[in-house]
Amino acid sequence: MFYRASLQAAAALASLSLLAGCGLLSDSGSETNQKITVGTTSSPSTLDPAAAWDGSWELMRNVYQTLVSFPTGSTSPEPDAAQECKFTDATSMAYRCT
Q: What is the pLDDT of residues 11-63, one digit of tens each?
A: 777 776 766 665 555 555 567 788 877 676 777 677 776 776 666 777 777 78
Predicted TM-score (pTM) of the model is: 0.38
- List the one residue out of 16, 26, 5, 83 whose CA is nearest residue 49: 16
Burial of 77 (0-12, 13-18, 19+ CB in 10 A): buried
79, pLDDT greater than 80 = yes
Domain membership of residue 30 (yes or no) is: no
What's the pLDDT score for residue 24?
55
On whether residue 5 sits in a domain, the answer given is: yes
Given this model, what pLDDT does residue 83 score? 92
DSSP-assigned letter for residue 17: H
Domain span including residue 6: 1-22+55-64
Q: Are residues 18 and 6 in the same domain?
A: yes
Q: From CA 24, how far away is CA 14, in angstroms rounded?
A: 16
Residues 6 or more apart whose CB falls under 8 angstroms from that of 79 comprise 67, 68, 85, 97
- Give the per-residue pLDDT at 52: 67
